[in-house]
Structure 1
Amino acid sequence: MTKIFAHRGSAGTHPENTMIAFYEAERVGADGIELDVQLTKDGQIVVIHDETIDRTTDGTGWVKDFTYRELKQFNAVYKFVDQYDVCRIPLLEEVLAWIHPTSLLLNIELKNGLIAYEGLEQKVIDMIRHYGLEERTVLSSFNHNSMLFCHHLAPNIETGLLYMEPLYDPWKYVRVMKAKGLHPYHRTVTESFLHQARHHGIAIRPFTINKESLMKKMFAYEVDAIFTDYPRLAKEILKKTP
């Protein structure tokens, strides 16, 4: 059955990439959570999507230019300011310590396409190993070189390749890149593509599946997983899917 990953937590109903968004994802029965990581000025792994803090916090500037102590001062409540008081940018370690005793799966997206955070791969892998989450974690990125590097560092942690446009001969490419999953933009996913993926033993996890009609389509295709901002809705629709 298709797994449901809460994209940046329950980002449609709670401030994205914050602990309360992750708590909500577990509460509504998501199979896993998806989050994004970057490095601070002092080398801490923080959970935030954009390379700047402008959109999701009350501050401005680049994540890489702040220490974690400085980043903690900003409120990451985002567009939910009327519903929630204060939400801080969490450390990856905070999320892993929380997720460890649960049964949740985890997708960690490395946001190193624009900024080549030196040492990000090793730091993230070390943290995953510290909490013994190798078997429950998928690493993903639009930076495919980074994913190949992650495979070399930790062959036992699955990698997934994020992409927007259709790939030519993706089955050959995914083998070369040592990945076990493709994370495509949903518009590139077709039924024939899914049949080929099953033949080649590759997991397909499209993003970002928020509309009810699109959820039904992906569930009918029996994709391996979806990333959605609305995990509760997705769970409800999946239960009704024949």
Structure 2
Amino acid sequence: MTKIFAHRGAAGTHPENTMVAFYEAERVGADGVELDVQMTKDGALVVIHDETVDRTTDGTGWVKDFTYRDLQSLHAGYKFTEQYSTCRIPLLEEVLAWISGTSLLLNIELKNGLIVYDRLEEKVIDLVKHYRLEPRVIFSSFNHNSMARCRQLAPTIETALLYMESLYQPWQYVRVLGAKGLHPYYRTVTESFVREAHLHHVRVRPFTINSEEAMNTMFRYEVDAIFTDYPEKAKQIKKA
């Protein structure tokens, strides 16, 4: 049964990667939430997709150059600034504390492809273990070295590989890295690919599925999960 992950929370209708977007994901009955983690100048783990604050807040600059306290003064309302007067960039810990009281799954994407954040993997793993969320968490990244590192540090937490282009027999590559999942760009996904991955006990969770047509296709292929900005719409289409 295909699970529905709210991509950056319910990012199609609420400010992405904010608590209101995550609350909405739970409200509409998503199976899980997907979020992105970067690190501040003073080592705080914050939930934001881009390496800079320019697109999603009223500030400018690199996340790594702000202290956590400085980031708190920014309004992270993104496209929804008029509906939400105050929207902050949350701490990863804030999300984990909240999610531990729900039954939601959580996909944590480590954003360390462009900037190598010192000990990002260790810090994220420590927090996940603190909240005893290991069975409900999936780590993913476009940085596959980072996923190999997570696997070494925390073999009980599932890792998944994000990628954009078609890969040749990626289930062999997955095995080498000790990962359990492939998170491909959805346009590279075919029915035979999903079937083959499942034969090799590899989970397939494509991103980012927003159109009704793409949702129907992915449900028909029986992928393990989809990442969508519109979890409520996905729930309705899946039900139908």
Class of the TM-score when normalised by the shorter of the 2 chains: over 0.9
Instruction: Name the structure 1 match of 2:57.
Output: 57
1:22-171 alignment runs, 5 A limit: 22-171=22-171
**Aligned-residue CA RMSD (Å):** 0.4
- The unaligned stretches of length 5 or more in structure 1 are none
Q: TM-score, with normalisation over the residues of structure 2?
A: 0.99
Distance 2:168 2:236 in 1: 35
Aligned length: 240
- The unaligned stretches of length 5 or more in structure 2 are none
Distance 1:66 1:82 in 2: 25
Distance 2:103 2:86 in 1: 27
Q: Secondary structure at the match of 2:149?
A: helix
**Identity over aligned residues, as a percent?**
74
Cα distance per residue 1:93-130 (max 9 Å; x no partner): 00000000100000000000000001000000000000
- 1:196 Cα deviation from its structure 2 partner: 0.2
Cα distance per residue 1:180-216 (max 9 Å; x no partner): 0000000110000011011000000000000000000
Distance 1:74 1:57 in 2: 6
Cα distance per residue 1:36-67 (max 9 Å; x no partner): 00100000000000000000000000000000
Q: Secondary structure at the match of 1:210?
A: coil
Q: Secondary structure at the match of 1:138?
A: strand
1:226 corresponds to 2:226 = yes
Distance 1:15 1:101 in 2: 22
Distance 2:86 2:135 in 1: 33
Instruction: Name the structure 1 match of 2:183.
Output: 183
Q: Secondary structure at the match of 1:30?
A: coil
Runs of 4+ in structure 1 over 2 Å off = none
Q: Secondary structure at the match of 1:55?
A: coil
1:173-212 alignment runs, 5 A limit: 173-212=173-212
- 1:84 Cα deviation from its structure 2 partner: 1.3
Distance 1:182 1:165 in 2: 12
Distance 2:102 2:182 in 1: 25
Q: Secondary structure at the match of 2:5?
A: strand
Distance 1:149 1:36 in 2: 18
Structure 2 letter corresponding to 1:92: L
Structure 2 letter corresponding to 1:162: L
Q: TM-score, with normalisation over the residues of structure 1?
A: 0.99
Distance 2:138 2:48 in 1: 17
